[in-house]
């Protein structure tokens, strides 16, 4: 019994330090919805590879796609950013992914229902759009946020997080594109 009580006390004390040893970046935004990865892409030397497919599980408000103008920062308009490689390296390539109707750059989002809103149970696909984002296996970090992702200095930031299985929910999601 003494050993059981000691183990419970040790477990409770260690819970205090969970945030201190977590690799998640501290973030004050609000968790607005949840997605799951439906399918991961494969990197080739082509310039139209599928990167990832995501399914929205739920959200508390409509998830509209940002067109890249500051006028749509905040509210229901979300930015979709990927960083390829080491996220701590300032030279790692960064891409903002957009719908074809929102002047996409090197990363294109395709909706399964083309209405400019990511709804629950809908799958969206991220693809290369004329650029070789990942030609071999690479690590990708995805952030879906309703404001300026780079500075995170806007008020009322909301994010869409990956479905968590027993772990903490963070504002970024990491995955690997295979080769």
CATH code of the domain containing 159: 2.60.40
Residue 131 burial (CB < 10 Å; 0-12/13-18/19+)?
middle
Q: Domain range holding 161?
A: 27-177
Give me the percent of the chain exceeding a pLDDT of 70.
Answer: 81
**Residue that the structure tokens 């083309």 belong to:** 114
pTM score, whole prediction: 0.80
For the chain, percent of residues with pLDDT exceeding 90: 59
pLDDT grade for 29, boundaries at 50, 70 and 90: confident
Residue 58 within any structural domain of the chain: yes
DSSP category for residue 28: -
- Higher pLDDT pick, 17 / 122: 122
In a domain, 156, yes or no: yes
Lowest mean pLDDT among 27-36, 37-46, 89-98: 27-36
Residue 6 lies in a domain: no
Inside any domain, residue 150: yes
Residue 65 placed within a domain = yes
Q: Is residue 19 part of a domain?
A: no
Please state, rounded to an integer, the average pLDDT across all residues of the chain.
83
Residue 19 has pLDDT above 60, yes or no: no
Angle at 177 between CA 160 and CA 170, to 5 degrees: 25
**Residue 14: pLDDT above 80?**
no
Please say whether the dihedral angle defined by the alpha carbons of residues 7, 9, 12 and 18, taken in this order, is positive or negative. negative
Q: How many independent structural domains does the chain possess?
A: 1
């Amino acid at each position: 019994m003494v050993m059981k009580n000691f183990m419970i006390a040790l477990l409770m004390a260690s819970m205090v330090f969970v945030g201190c040893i977590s690799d998640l970046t501290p973030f004050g935004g609000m968790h607005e919805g949840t997605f799951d990865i439906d399918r991961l892409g494969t990197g080739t030397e082509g310039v139209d590879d599928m990167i990832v497919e995501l399914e929205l599980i739920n959200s508390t408000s409509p998830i509209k796609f940002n067109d890249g103008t500051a006028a749509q920062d905040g509210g229901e308009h979300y930015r979709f950013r990927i960083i390829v490689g080491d996220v701590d390296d300032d030279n790692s390539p960064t891409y903002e992914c957009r719908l074809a109707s929102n002047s996409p750059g090197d990363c294109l989002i395709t909706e399964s229902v083309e209405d400019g809103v990511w709804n629950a149970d809908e799958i969206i696909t991220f693809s290369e759009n004329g650029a070789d984002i990942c030609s071999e296996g690479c690590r990708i970090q995805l952030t879906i946020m309703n404001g300026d992702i780079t500075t995170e200095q806007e008020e009322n930031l909301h994010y869409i997080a990956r479905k968590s299985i027993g772990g903490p929910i963070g504002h970024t999601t990491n995955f690997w594109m295979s080769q």
